[in-house]
Amino acid sequence: MKIILVGYMGSGKSAVGEQLAASLNYKFVDLDQAIAQETGSSITDLFATKGEVYFRKTERKLVAKILTDSSNLVLATGGGTPCYGDMLQFLKSVAASTTVYLKTSNEELTRRLFNERKQRPLIAHLNTELLLNDFIKKHLFERSYFYNQSDLKVATDSRSVEAIAEEIKNNVSF
């Protein structure tokens, strides 16, 4: 079984994924960490030196490699992962898998991301909460088409990581 978490940056994919994997005794893979390990570069450096096209091609190859692993696993994708090329169709085509959208409001994302924006290449240049909020609003509008095609949607606002992981466990068919 593969549980694939999608959603905007800051929605909790890594934290929820780690908790969920531990509670199920599944392997956990954070895609951004796997890409950094595979390439020997941080995501920020990859975007800056090689560009987004290179990053997305690398991401696609690594996702295919990760999901061919026969282990039960939870995969925390990057915020843009399901939105490029054939990635969403590929994620949904994986046998014995469930895609889960961690749905988080624009306001909650702004609160979560403002203080950590310097570590996130897409939002590092946004210096006020208002600018960040507007940026997230635009991105969520563009990306929600992809996110909403997930098999399961779980609201995350004002909820603990444990509660979100538990809801996923209770709603995924194993």
What is the three-state SS of the chain? CEEEEECCCCCCHHHHHHHHHHHHCCEEEEHHHHHHHHHCCCHHHHHHHCCHHHHHHHHHHHHHHHHCCCCCEEEECCCCHHHCCCHHHHHHHCCCEEEEEEECCHHHHHHHHHHHHHHCCCCCCCCCHHHHHHHHHHHHHHHHHHHCCCCEEEECCCCCHHHHHHHHHHHCCC
Q: What values do phi and psi take at 170, rounded to 5?
A: -75, -15
Q: What values do phi and psi take at 30, rounded to 5?
A: -95, 115
Question: How does pLDDT run along the chain (174 residues), one tens digit per residue?
Answer: 999 999 999 999 999 999 999 999 999 999 999 999 999 998 888 888 998 899 999 999 999 999 998 899 999 999 999 999 899 999 999 999 999 999 999 999 999 999 998 888 789 899 999 999 999 999 999 999 999 999 999 999 999 999 999 999 999 987
Q: 2-169 — its CATH code?
A: 3.40.50.300
Q: How buried is residue 100: exposed, middle or buried, by Cβ count under 10 Å (0-12/13-18/19+)?
A: buried
- For residue 83, what are the CA distances in angstroms to 17, 40, 79? 20, 24, 8
Looking at residue 119, its pLDDT comes to 80
Looking at residue 84, its pLDDT comes to 92
Angle 86-32-9 (CA atoms, 0-180°, nearest 5)?
80
